[in-house]
């Protein structure tokens, strides 16, 4: 096949692919998870119960993460202190928790990288305590997976 015929064939394929993509994107209904644009936009009142307003990655539930990713959970209220963020991960791993300066975000850092291709469950316990509220009284459970290594 001559060089000019190859170029024409490639051009036709590119144009067809572009047309298909354009048609696909025009017809696609975009849905995104509910996100809070600014969780601290209004002041928290004594009556507002603690709730999770964001996660990183978003959404966390059934997401696939890298083995070294730090998971973040952000609440609408500040926690009392890092020791009052009651959590566990199964299968059991060693990890540390750090709070953001405003104490609304818990950063969960694995001591060693997560095992590749594994599924983890993060439990945030009912005993987690928040400023001005005390015990949360709720349990939240997230499931996430790590990237599987399939070789090169």
- CATH no. for residue 77? 2.60.40.3710
- Structurally, the chain folds into a number of domains equal to 1
3 domain residue, yes or no: no
Overall pTM surpassing 0.75 (yes/no): no
116 domain residue, yes or no: yes
Give me the helices (H) in the chain, please.
3-27
Mean pLDDT, residues 67-90:
96
pLDDT above 90 covers a percentage of the chain that reads 64
Owning domain of residue 110: 52-146
Output the pLDDT for position 96: 98
Angle at 113 between CA 122 and CA 144, to 5 degrees: 30
11 domain residue, yes or no: no
71 domain residue, yes or no: yes
């Amino acid at each position: 096949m001559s060089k000019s015929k190859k170029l024409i064939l490639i051009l036709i394929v590119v144009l067809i692919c572009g047309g298909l993509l354009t048609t696909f994107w025009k017809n696609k209904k975009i849905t995104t998870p509910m996100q809070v644009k600014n969780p601290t936009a209004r002041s928290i009142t004594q009556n507002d119960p603690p709730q999770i307003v964001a996660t990183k990655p978003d959404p966390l539930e059934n997401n696939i993460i890298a083995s070294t990713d730090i998971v973040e959970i952000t609440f609408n209220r500040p926690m009392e202190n890092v020791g009052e963020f009651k959590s566990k991960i199964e299968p059991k791993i060693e990890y540390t928790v750090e709070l953001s300066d405003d104490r609304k975000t818990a950063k969960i850092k694995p001591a060693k990288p997560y095992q590749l291709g594994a599924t983890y469950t993060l439990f945030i316990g009912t005993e987690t305590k928040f400023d001005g509220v005390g015990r949360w009284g709720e349990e939240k459970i997230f499931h996430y997976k790590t990237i599987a290594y399939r070789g090169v």
